[in-house]
Amino acid sequence: MTARCVVLPNGINVGGHNRVPMADLRPKLADAGYTDPVTILQSGNIIVTADQPDSATDPAAVAAALAASVQQLPADEFDVHVPCVARTAAEIEDILERSPLGHIAHDGSRYLVNFLSSEPSPNAIRELTEADHAPEVLHVEGSQAFVWAPEGIRALRLTYAHLERHFGVTTTARNRNTLERIAAKL
């Protein structure tokens, strides 16, 4: 069985650091056994078709295994060591469809989805969601943390790094506009 999946590296080609040429990465993904590799933007949004074990029933476990496997490629090929988080195409489409902050988030460049490597503890979620982050808004569902940043990303206090430290998980963020571009290529 195969599944179309999205792998989201944290911090590739940002500010001149962790340089990974996307044109060079795509054939490396194909050589590693991933079908139809696509990259979107220079920040390393990767779409691949990956084999899934027939016994795989837990999408989170499959995504974690895929993220670990793809994460190794930039390390081996380009000496770039960055964590990755992965989701199935269906999960990305569901996130865009549900859009839990869509009723207030009117600018896709300021509406962030933070992809967490695993679900944070209920206590960590409660502690962070009960705190006042105004004018920012935070909503956590499973292994996603949605943030509306009405004052823009430069003023953001609920950064992926803040969420990562608080929840104790690997985190990477994409804005809604980028997720829509990714979904268009699924």
Domain boundaries, the chain: 2-90, 99-184
φ, ψ for residue 120, nearest 5 deg: -75, 165
Question: CA angle at residue 70 from 184 to 15, to 5 degrees?
Answer: 75
Q: What pTM, to 2 d.p., does this model score?
A: 0.91
φ, ψ for residue 7, nearest 5 deg: -110, 130
Task: Kindly tell me the burial class for residue 74, based on how many C-beta atoms sit within 10 Å of its own C-beta (0-12, 13-18, 19 or more).
Answer: buried
Domain 2-90: homologous superfamily in CATH: SP0830-like domains (3.30.70.1280)
Number of residues that make up the chain:
186
Q: Do the first three CATH levels of 2-90 and 99-184 match, i.e. the same topology?
A: yes
pLDDT by position in tens, the chain (length 186): 678 899 999 888 777 778 888 889 899 999 998 999 999 987 779 999 887 665 556 766 777 888 888 888 989 988 999 999 999 999 999 999 999 999 999 999 999 999 999 999 999 999 999 999 999 999 999 999 999 999 999 999 999 999 999 999 999 999 999 999 999 999
- If one counts every other C-beta atom within 10 angstroms of the C-beta of residue 21, the result is 12
- Reduced 3-state DSSP string for 76-124: HHHCCCCCEEEEEHHHHHHHHHHCCCCCCCCCCCCEEEEEECCCCCHHH
Query: What kind of fold does domain 99-184 have according to CATH?
Result: Alpha-Beta Plaits (3.30.70)
Burial 3-16 (b: 16+ CB within 10 A, else e): bbbbbbbbbbbeee
End-to-end CA distance of the chain: 17
Tokens 């909503």 map to which residue? 139
